[in-house]
Amino acid sequence: MSEDVYIIGAGETKFGELWERSLRELAVEAGLKAVENAGVYSKDIQVLYGSNSLAGTINAQNDIGSLIADFSGIASNHIPAIRIEASSASGAAAVREAYLAIKSGEYDCVMVGAVEKMTDLYGPEMLDHVSTLLDREWEAFFGATPAAMAALTARKYMHDFNVEKENIMAIPISDHRNASMNPDAHFRNKLTMETAMGATMISEPLNMMDCAPMSDGAAALVIASGSFMKRNRLNGVRILSSGISQDFLALHSRNSIYTMDSTVLAARQAMEKAGLKHKDMSFLEIHDSYSIYGITAIEDLGFAKKGKAAEVIQSGIDINSALPINPSGGLKAKGYPIGAAGVSQFVEAVLQLTEKAGQRQIKDARYGMMHSIAGTGSTSLVHIVGGE
């Protein structure tokens, strides 16, 4: 019988353009907050999984696991500290590794530290680095960017299902509304449909308000076994299940350009393992790096039939609705530090499930679903948290 797994501590930095903060400072701040929140000491941490996507190119720094351990002051504890990388799904992948490490019985108390420092570069130069999320030789080589690939999906989706751009833009608008109540969010301004629709074009039909920003930020979790938690009289939020699936790296090789098979399969695994139904979910945190991916996520996670996400949105996705989506503000408005975004979704889940989400608190929140994708959907992870 494997151990139950709990998040016993969570912490994050503010997200945004944090010019005065370095990669390591951000990572350490989030890590200390998580350890403090957990009520454990650094000597309790048996392994550290560092999550990061682009430091190797943006900041010319690799070995992020050692970096985080070192500047968190635990280098002399000599625990394993390695980096987990799955592009924009790095954070969720690191949480999964922590979950498995405890499930295996090998470890009792694991740290996940996720960080991305993006604003050390900007503009066209940054686009070269962000485009490494794609297939460099056969997509990015020809001038494709992540936004362009999302735009190809959006254009075809709108055409095949007769969907208006406003239906897609409803996701960023909802994100901004929620982020206005989140002090850690990159953007706290509310967004009107008129402003959103009139924003600078990025890759038609997607404009700047369809695209998550390049944010600096870090998030960290302390994850422990049920027995460790009880032994030390601590509290936690349970990770009920973890689903993961893979697909072709390049969009052009996949079965569909608007169904992410990896998300469909990861969601199915997570739901089956948790033994729950879609209607049991109190909220979702979805990977809306581009607005269209929010739409396809609602469908691929099983909350709407293909082409019908707009109906779910129309029936309400705000924090008081039957299916709140991205109470944190999502990738669009809370922010998108690429390798840290997945972990920050869990920080939100902990706040919601322990009734500490303040203004944006969802009433009677019981179960949350966390969704993360790599690039255009080459890897998807779905986690379900909550319950007793």
Extract the tokens encoding 97: 């590794």
With the C-alpha atoms ordered 35, 39, 43, 46, is the resulting torsion angle positive or negative?
Answer: negative
Among 201, 227, 230, 231, contact with other proteins (rule: CB under 8 A): 201
Q: How far is the CB of 373 from other proteins (least distance, A)?
A: 18
Residue 20 interacting with other proteins (CB under 8 A): no
Q: How far is the CB of 197 from other proteins (least distance, A)?
A: 16
Residue 143 interacting with other proteins (CB under 8 A): yes
The total of other beta-carbon atoms located within 10 Å of residue 119's CB is 17
Of the pair 124, 183, the CB lying nearest other proteins is at 124
Of the pair 128, 280, the CB lying nearest other proteins is at 128
What phi and psi values does residue 378 have, to the nearest 5 degrees? -70, -30
Q: How far is the CB of 301 from other proteins (least distance, A)?
A: 23
According to DSSP, residue 332 is labeled I
Of the pair 242, 376, the CB lying nearest other proteins is at 376
Residue 333 interacting with other proteins (CB under 8 A): no
How many residues interact with other proteins (rule CB under 8 A)? 35
Q: How far is the CB of 98 from other proteins (least distance, A)?
A: 31
Cβ atoms of 168 and 258 within 8 Å: the answer is no
Q: Is 117 exposed, middle or buried (0-12, 13-18, 19+ CB in 10 A)?
A: buried
- Binding piece for other proteins, criterion CB under 8 A, among 70-78, 198-206, 341-349, 361-369: 198-206
CA 255, chain centre distance (Å): 24
Among 2, 80, 138, 164, contact with other proteins (rule: CB under 8 A): 138
Q: How far is the CB of 357 from other proteins (least distance, A)?
A: 34
CA distance 267 to 261: 10
CA distance 352 to 360: 8
Question: 312, 143, 147: which is closest to 213 by C-alpha?
Answer: 147
CA distance 93 to 98: 9
Among 38, 147, 171, 220, contact with other proteins (rule: CB under 8 A): 147
Positions in 155-174 near other proteins (CB under 8 A): 155-156, 159
SS (H, E, C) 307-324: CCHHHHHHCCCCCCCCCC
Straight-line distance from the first to the last Cα atom of the chain, in angstroms, rounded to the nearest whole number: 18
Q: How far is the CB of 210 from other proteins (least distance, A)?
A: 12
What phi and psi values does residue 383 have, to the nearest 5 degrees? -120, 145
Q: How far is the CB of 246 from other proteins (least distance, A)?
A: 12
Positions in 231-250 near other proteins (CB under 8 A): 248, 250
Residue 152 interacting with other proteins (CB under 8 A): yes
Residues forming contacts to other proteins in the complex (CB under 8 A) are: 124-125, 127-128, 131, 137-145, 147-148, 151-153, 155-156, 159, 200-206, 248, 250-253, 257
